[in-house]
């Protein structure tokens, strides 16, 4: 594999009122140029091993081909219908290829790559296969010999049985990398029940416990939103309930309780296999989205999300709550509403405001990201958007290519949450249109308590004023990477990197940052356009 570097430019970033120089470098791949390529770098001693997965085709609209869509953005799912091309590559600190090999998977109609982890000198790849179109999914661990990549040893560590198609499965790992858990979701019968298959292992793949859990879905539609496992092995799972009868408000569940349009609950599983259910909503607030994170500084799991003050109403603010590690039950939630200035700025981005009785942001869909500072404070990033289809003039008549699915995206909301307060920052996003393959949520890096966001932006006039209302771009012709810095006071500074393309339907998606050393971080980017697709490995350096 051949990589060549393109130096984009040097940036001047304002950090705590001082100036630092930064270099951003992209290493573009000529070998892996396809519809979709995933690279997941893992640091091992003096080098990296990257997992590179190629796929010849993928139907993004068919939920059977993308069962992981119910999970959040951290879940990595790859569907390979014909060829199973998996490459393992070891790279040095300059991202030069030291060695690589190709793995072959026999008789695998569906292949899921969950991730590769290094613990106590052993590197393990976890994946699953479904053979012969059966209803059994086999989960494997594969030990990688980092000195000789061609030596792999795999074993079947768990089997998931689903009577109705392929269950959506995700892998979660404890913060200290000693335990991992697989959680799969499948529907039973006529959607009367949802089956959760939960299995806990140590990092070497040795089973600790496994158990099926059944959730009543007679009156509600259930969607898993997030899951974490703590260092002890306790599992926390959040899920969202949608009222199937929201247009018939007299409908009640089996217990005779009236069902709200939206409801969020957390179910916890202890090592003794005890279960506890937590409902976060209170009398006059309705949780819209709930993310879970293990706060290592405080030694407990915290739930963070967005809420509305009306059942199914506007986005009103952010909440968070602690889950007691002993009782595994949530403490009283704290709700922080958006201030009027923030709502006014977001309103300029394209959202309006209905009545004073329901102040807030008129949006019902958000992507979120959560990080923890060294002092235990929470950084919560919210990207409001709405989904739409648009007509594109691409020269084809009477073609499905004339209609493209896309997202109207708006300014990023960043919340810095302490035990007693929240500080909101709005980061303007200059374009409010992004195609379906583009990146909605910014990738986040926290360094020296400074918050760095890497995201994409599209606008012909990159010098547009921050307070100028963006116009919907039907044919975005310029694309740019943006690196934004937010300090503890909520002030932000943005740097626009070199434009990456000047073609219609250009889009870019990125991976999270991976630390190379104390001053250099790696990310991967997938460039997809109307006639070109490329995968890049990029680095951000801090002087």
The pLDDT value given to residue 258: 54
The pLDDT value given to residue 166: 62
The pLDDT value given to residue 116: 78
The pLDDT value given to residue 138: 85
Nearest-angstrom CA–CA distance, 534 and 354: 43
The pLDDT value given to residue 274: 62
398 compared with 532, residue with greater pLDDT? 532
Task: Flag whether pLDDT at 153 surpasses 70.
Answer: yes
Locate 163 and state its tokens: 């009577």
pLDDT classification of 243: cutoffs 50, 70, 90: low
Task: Evaluate whether 360 touches 316 at the Cβ level (below 8 Å).
Answer: yes
- Who's near 493: CB < 8 A, 6+ residues apart? 13, 14, 484, 485
- Who's near 148: CB < 8 A, 6+ residues apart? none
| Strands lying side by side in the sheet with 97-103 | 36-44, 47-55, 85-91, 97-103
Long-range contacts of residues 275-281, Cβ cutoff 8 Å, at least 24 apart: 275/213, 276/327, 276/328, 276/329, 278/323, 278/329, 278/330, 280/305, 280/319, 280/321, 280/330, 280/333
The pLDDT value given to residue 332: 81
Using CA atoms in the order 467, 469, 472, 477, what is the torsion angle rounded to 10 degrees? -40
Task: Flag whether pLDDT at 168 surpasses 60.
Answer: yes
Task: Evaluate whether 455 touches 523 at the Cβ level (below 8 Å).
Answer: no
- Who's near 71: CB < 8 A, 6+ residues apart? 168, 170, 224, 225
- Return mean pLDDT, the chain: 68
Task: Evaluate whether 278 touches 269 at the Cβ level (below 8 Å).
Answer: no
Task: Flag whether pLDDT at 432 surpasses 90.
Answer: no
The pLDDT value given to residue 508: 60
Q: Which of 61-65, 205-209, 268-272, 384-388 has the lowest mean pLDDT?
A: 61-65
| SS3 call for 55 | strand
265-278 pLDDT tens trace: 788 887 665 666 66
The pLDDT value given to residue 29: 47
Locate 400 and state its tokens: 């499905």
Judged on CB neighbours under 10 Å (0-12, 13-18, 19+), 348 is: middle
Give the closest residue to 27 by CA, choosing from 530, 524, 453, 527.
524
Mean pLDDT calculated for residue range 319-340: 84
The pLDDT value given to residue 433: 60
The pLDDT value given to residue 163: 64
The pLDDT value given to residue 12: 24
The count of other CB atoms within 10 Å of the CB of residue 266 is: 25
Place of tokens 């000195």: 147
The pLDDT value given to residue 254: 56
218-230 pLDDT tens trace: 656 677 788 899 8
Nearest-angstrom CA–CA distance, 69 and 73: 9
Size of the chain in residues: 543
424 compared with 133, residue with greater pLDDT? 424
Locate 27 and state its tokens: 């290493």
Mean pLDDT calculated for residue range 511-528: 70
Give the closest residue to 269 by CA, choosing from 232, 310, 297, 303.
232
Nearest-angstrom CA–CA distance, 454 and 446: 12
Task: Evaluate whether 482 touches 454 at the Cβ level (below 8 Å).
Answer: yes
460-482 pLDDT tens trace: 444 444 444 444 444 444 567 78
Place of tokens 């335990």: 179
At 71, give phi and psi (nearest 5°).
-90, 175
Q: Which of 269-283, 315-329, 433-447 is the most confident on average?
A: 315-329
Between the two ends of the chain, the Cα-to-Cα distance in Å is 29
Mean pLDDT calculated for residue range 522-537: 58
DSSP string, 159-203: EEE-SSSPPEEEEEE-TTSSEEEEEEEEEETTTTEEEEEEEEEET
183-196 as b/e: b if 16+ CB within 10 A: bbbbbeeeeeebbb
The pLDDT value given to residue 379: 95
**Residue 137 bridge partners (DSSP):** 130, 160
Task: Flag whether pLDDT at 1 surpasses 50.
Answer: no
Task: Evaluate whether 523 touches 536 at the Cβ level (below 8 Å).
Answer: no
Task: Flag whether pLDDT at 245 surpasses 50.
Answer: yes
Task: Flag whether pLDDT at 362 surpasses 50.
Answer: yes
At 267, give phi and psi (nearest 5°).
-115, 135
At 342, give phi and psi (nearest 5°).
-65, -45
Task: Flag whether pLDDT at 93 surpasses 50.
Answer: yes
325 compared with 148, residue with greater pLDDT? 148
The count of other CB atoms within 10 Å of the CB of residue 446 is: 16
**Residue 444 bridge partners (DSSP):** 453
Task: Flag whether pLDDT at 135 surpasses 60.
Answer: yes
């Amino acid at each position: 594999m051949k990589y060549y570097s393109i130096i984009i430019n040097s940036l001047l970033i304002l950090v705590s009122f001082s100036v630092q120089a930064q270099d951003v470098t992209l290493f573009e791949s000529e070998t892996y140029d396809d519809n979709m390529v995933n690279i997941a770098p893992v640091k091992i001693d003096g080098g990296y091993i990257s997992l590179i997965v190629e796929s010849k085709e993928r139907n993004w609209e068919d939920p059977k081909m993308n069962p992981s869509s119910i999970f959040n953005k951290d879940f990595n799912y790859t569907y390979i219908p014909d060829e199973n091309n998996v490459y393992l590559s070891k790279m040095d600190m300059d991202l030069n290829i030291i060695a690589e090999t190709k793995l072959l998977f026999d008789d695998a109609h569906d292949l899921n790559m969950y991730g590769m982890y290094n613990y106590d000198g052993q590197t393990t790849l976890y994946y699953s296969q479904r053979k012969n179109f059966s209803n059994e999914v086999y989960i494997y661990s594969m030990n990688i010999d980092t000195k000789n990549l061609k030596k792999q040893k795999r074993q079947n560590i768990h089997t998931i049985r689903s009577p109705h198609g392929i269950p959506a499965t995700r892998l979660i790992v404890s913060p200290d990398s000693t335990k991992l858990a697989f959680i799969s979701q499948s529907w039973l019968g006529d959607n009367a029940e949802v089956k959760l298959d939960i299995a806990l292992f140590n990092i070497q793949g040795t089973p600790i416990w496994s158990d099926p859990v059944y959730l009543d879905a007679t009156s509600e539609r259930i969607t898993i939103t997030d899951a974490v496992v703590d260092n002890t092995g306790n599992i926390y799972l959040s899920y969202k309930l949608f009222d199937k009868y929201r247009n018939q408000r007299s409908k009640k569940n089996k217990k005779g309780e009236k069902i709200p349009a939206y409801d969020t609950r957390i179910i916890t599983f202890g090592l003794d296999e005890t279960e506890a259910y937590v409902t976060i909503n209170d009398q006059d607030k309705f949780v819209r989205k709930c993310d879970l994170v293990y706060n290592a500084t405080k030694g407990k799991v915290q739930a963070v999300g967005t809420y509305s003050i009306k059942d199914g109403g506007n986005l009103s603010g952010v909440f968070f709550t602690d889950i007691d590690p002993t009782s595994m039950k949530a403490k009283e939630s704290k709700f922080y509403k958006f201030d009027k200035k923030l709502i006014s700025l977001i309103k300029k981005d394209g959202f309006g405001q209905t009545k004073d009785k329901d102040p807030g942001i008129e949006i019902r869909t958000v992507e979120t990201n959560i990080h923890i500072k060294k002092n235990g404070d929470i950084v919560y990033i919210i990207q409001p958007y709405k989904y739409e289809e648009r007509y594109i003039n691409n020269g084809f008549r009477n073609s499905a290519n004339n209609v493209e699915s896309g997202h109207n995206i708006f300014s990023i909301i960043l919340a810095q949450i302490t035990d007693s307060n929240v500080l909101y920052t709005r980061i303007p996003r200059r374009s409010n249109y992004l195609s379906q393959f583009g990146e909605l949520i910014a990738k986040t890096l926290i360094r020296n308590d400074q918050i760095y966001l890497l995201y994409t932006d599209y606008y012909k006039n990159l010098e547009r004023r921050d307070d100028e209302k963006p116009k919907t771009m039907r044919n975005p012709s310029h694309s740019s990477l943006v690196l934004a810095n937010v300090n503890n006071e909520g002030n932000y500074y943005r740097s626009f990197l070199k434009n990456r393309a000047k073609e219609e339907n250009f889009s870019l998606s990125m991976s999270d940052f991976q630390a190379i050393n104390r001053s250099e971080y790696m990310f991967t980017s997938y460039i997809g356009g109307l006639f070109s697709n490329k995968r890049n490995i990029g680095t951000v350096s801090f002087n």
